[in-house]
Amino acid sequence: MRVTGTLSRLPLVILIDSGSTHNFLDATIVKRAGLKISNIGKIDVVVANGEKLSSLGMCSRVQINIQDKKITTDFYVLSLGGCDAVLGAYWLRPLGPILWDFANLSMQFSLEGDSYCLNGPSSNEISVVDDSQLKKPLKKGSRGVLLQLCSIVSTPTDYSNPRVEVLLQEFQDIFKEPCGLPPPRPHESTSSAT
């Protein structure tokens, strides 16, 4: 689930990711916030596509604000790309029971006796833009998230071409209904440490 927050008045897009073992902060944000990186605790990270990356070190006791809630935790420094920070199992584990509602993109938990409810983006926070609207911010070096949704609809067709029928028979395993998760793709960016 993605939420918005701030670090020293810098806006953040934060991915709350139960599949990530640690917390990560993008190297660009660390530099802009003027945080000190400790060389102690460097780790190698295996990202979703199987690529291994080395963290630049750790920033300890970093305070971020998420929806008017102050959260202090440690972050490994890494070039993330798709978001500014990742809160992984290292941050999630001490929270105890979490009520996560993916239909409404909300997350409820207790921390040090206080109740919290974090909310993901509402539909009015997500906008559709065309390529001409992206050119100016990209020239300035801005970052963002680009999402493309496609719908594929197939309609039954009568194949009268015998060559097509032969190909369909020969490669019938390709056209079977999927029965598991897809293989890792190079564009996936969820992080986990080894």
185 versus 1: the higher-pLDDT residue is 1
Q: Which of 17-26, 125-134, 165-174 has the highest mean pLDDT?
A: 17-26
Q: Which residue has the higher pLDDT, 92 or 114?
A: 92
Q: Where are the beta strands (DSSP E) in 8-136?
A: 10-16, 24-26, 44-47, 52-54, 57-66, 69-78, 85-87, 99-101, 106-111, 114-119
Q: Determine the pLDDT at residue 155.
A: 56
How far apart (Å, rounded) are the C-alpha atoms in residues 72 and 61? Answer: 5
Q: What is the CATH number of the domain that holds 113?
A: 2.40.70.10
183 assigned to some structural domain: no
Per the model's pLDDT, the better-predicted residue between 189 and 136 turns out to be 136
Question: Per the domain annotation, does 137 fall within a domain?
Answer: no
pLDDT score recorded for residue 24:
94
The answer to whether residue 163 sits within a structural domain is: no
- The answer to whether the beta carbons of residues 86 and 14 sit under 8 Å apart is yes
Out of 62-76, 79-93, 138-152, which region has the weakest mean confidence (pLDDT)? 138-152
CA gap 131, 60 in Å, rounded:
39
Lowest mean pLDDT among 76-85, 133-142, 151-160: 151-160
Q: What is the pLDDT of residue 126?
A: 53
Alpha-carbon separation of residue 100 from 14, 106, 174 (angstroms):
16, 6, 36
Q: Establish if 12 belongs to a structural domain.
A: yes
Whether residue 144 is predicted with pLDDT greater than 80 in this model: the reply is no
Q: What is the mean pLDDT of residues 14-40?
A: 92
> Whose structure tokens read 């190297």?
27
Residue 166, domain member (yes or no): no
Asked whether residue 102 is domain-assigned, the answer is yes
> At 153, is the pLDDT very low, low, confident or very high (cuts 50, 70, 90)?
low
Give Dmax (Cα) for the chain.
Answer: 70
Query: Is 25 inside any structural domain?
Result: yes
Q: What is the pLDDT of residue 194?
A: 47
The total number of structural domains that make up the chain: 1
Region of poorest pLDDT, from 29-33, 78-82, 154-158: 154-158
Lowest mean pLDDT among 27-36, 79-88, 99-108, 167-176: 167-176
Domain that holds residue 67: 2-124+189-193
Does residue 81 sit within a domain?
A: yes
Give per-residue pLDDT as tens, 34-69: 999 998 878 888 877 778 888 899 999 999 999 888
Give the residue ranges of DSSP H helices in 34-151.
89-92, 131-139
